[in-house]
Amino acid sequence: MKIFKYPVEITDELTIEMPKNADIMHFGIHNHVAALWACVDPENPMVERKFKVVGTGHEMPTNDNLNYIGTITNHELQYVWHLFEVI
């Protein structure tokens, strides 16, 4: 098992490819870039996982089953984003 970092584009919907059964540990900012960290088995086959980013004050998607991952803030721009995985 290893811990990998995956960049997260701040957009409404995104897909991240990672090894099957990756365990997401944290959503944060590193060197001014949004990212998530996951514990993975690099030998597992790669799968696509779908995510949604929702800004504070924005409408929550109502047609998806979502699992909350975490929240980040950009103090310079005073924005707050919340990451959800579509399950």
Q: How far is Cα 4 from Cα 46, in angstroms, rounded to an integer? A: 13
Would you state the pLDDT for residue 54?
A: 96
CA distance to 50, 63, 78, per residue, from 15 (Å): 4, 17, 25
Distance, in Å, from the CA atom of 87 to the CA atom of 74, rounded to the nearest integer, reads: 27
Question: Is the distance from CB of 49 to CB of 31 less than 8 angstroms?
Answer: no
Q: What is the DSSP letter of 87?
A: -
Q: Where are the domains of the chain?
A: 2-86
pLDDT of residue 77: 63
Give the model's pLDDT for residue 75: 67
Phi and psi angles of residue 31, each rounded to the nearest 5 degrees, phi first: 55, 45
**pLDDT tens series, the chain, 87 aa:** 999 999 999 999 999 999 999 999 999 999 989 999 999 999 999 999 999 999 999 999 887 799 999 999 976 768 899 999 999
Tokens describing residue 7: 């960049």
